[in-house]
Homo-oligomer: A and B are copies of this chain.
Amino acid sequence: ADAEAVQAAVARNGQLTKPPGALGRLEDVAIWVAGWQGTDRPHCERPQVIVFAGNHGVVAQGVSAFPAEVTVQMVGNFSAGGAAINQLSKAFGAAMSVHALDLDRPTADFTVAPAMTEAEVVAALATGWAAVDPEADMLVVGEMGIGNTTPAAALAAALFGGAGADWVGRGTGVDDAGLARKAGAVDAGLALHGPLLGDALQVMRCLGGRELAAMAGAIARARSLRIAVILDGFICTASAAVLEKAVAGSLDHCIAGHVSAEGAHGKLLAALGKEPLLSLGLRLGEGSGAALAIGVVKGALACHSGMMTFAEAGVSGA
């Protein structure tokens, strides 16, 4: 981040027509974005939402309430404008795009083999990297992939320790037996790939998925472009965590858009030191929670960059 822009934004914030600190977290958000955009008047006029879709071999373990065919059907829904993320992108003026990653070629079931080859994980990372619009001034990445809370839980367990049961949740709505199958699948994956899991990118390759790797690639690309990122829910956050474990500080350009209802999301955010902007019980994925948080970020930046100072407005200070 640009220390000079941060300093200028802090100074500006102190002169705006409000009691000091009265805009609470909005003030912190504006100053933080100022640092990444390198200006004391940060903006969110060209937000971009990218949804990545992938399929997962681990669905063979009975880890989802929905059939795998729903992934491609939902990609059709995204393209037709009918999903939640379409409405939220439109509501907050974001340009939305969808990238389906080899849906007819699911990853391998990570309980029996690495989810991806090196070539596959690199291709997915590159898809994410290339998907970011360099002109965007805010980025949301989301996902669609039936079964993908299980690879996300596996990433979290491999990166932060603990067993499957510590990280799995209900996802789209599995019952107790499904939850137990998810935990068992994660444990099997951790046992099978254990020797490789000291390396964060091997964690992504062995236990992740194409859309998870693509999200990580896009978040890394945003960093190189100094575009601030709003993180979505459990799967997005787990994917981002791979970057943080690979290079500490990799997620300094990311803010947590919300904490989802997926059981372990709060714990994962805490492990990353991220405090969510929203807590509304969402657990949809697609980038929906982060897209909703675009509104909060827009509000924060509108106040910071648009308000008059005490001097400009002729208002007496405290």
Contacts and interface: CB of A to CB of B under 8 A. Distances in A.
Interface of A: 16-26, 65-67, 69-70, 73-74, 76-77, 80, 82-84, 86-88, 90-92, 172-173, 261, 277-284, 288, 291-292, 295-296, 298-299, 302-303, 306-308, 312-318
A172 B66 contact: no
A173 B318 contact: yes
A55 B296 CA distance: 31
Given A280-B277, A282-B23, A284-B18, A302 B70 contact: no
Given A21-B173, A22-B282, 10 more contacts: A17-B74, A24-B280, A24-B282, A25-B281, A66-B318, A76-B313, A87-B303, A87-B306, A88-B299, A90-B302
22 contacts: A17-B74, A17-B77, A18-B83, A19-B284, A20-B173, A23-B84, A24-B280, A24-B282, A65-B318, A67-B316, A80-B313, A83-B308, A87-B299, A88-B302, A90-B302, A90-B306, A91-B298, A277-B280, A280-B296, A288-B303, A295-B295, A295-B296
Contacts of A82: 17, 307-308, 312-313
Contacts of A91: 295, 298-299, 302
A87 B307 contact: yes
A65 B26 CA distance: 22
A270 B278 CA distance: 19
Contacts of A20: 173
B88 A303 contact: yes
Identical chains bound together, number: 2
Given A24-B261, A69-B316, A307-B83, A296 B292 contact: yes
Given A87-B302, A279-B279, A295-B295, A314 B25 contact: no
A78 B166 CA distance: 51
A70 B83 CA distance: 47
Nearest to A89: B302
Contact of A73 (B19, B23, B84, B313): B313
Contacts of A66: 19, 316-318
Contacts of A318: 65-66, 172-173
Nearest to A173: B19
Given A25-B280, A92-B299, A302-B87, A315 B173 contact: no
A80 B308 contact: yes
A172 B19 contact: yes
Contact of A84 (B67, B288, B303): B303
A71 to B, nearest CB: 10
Contacts of A83: 17-18, 307-308, 313
B282 A26 contact: yes
B288 A77 contact: no
Contacts of A88: 299, 302-303
A291 B318 CA distance: 25
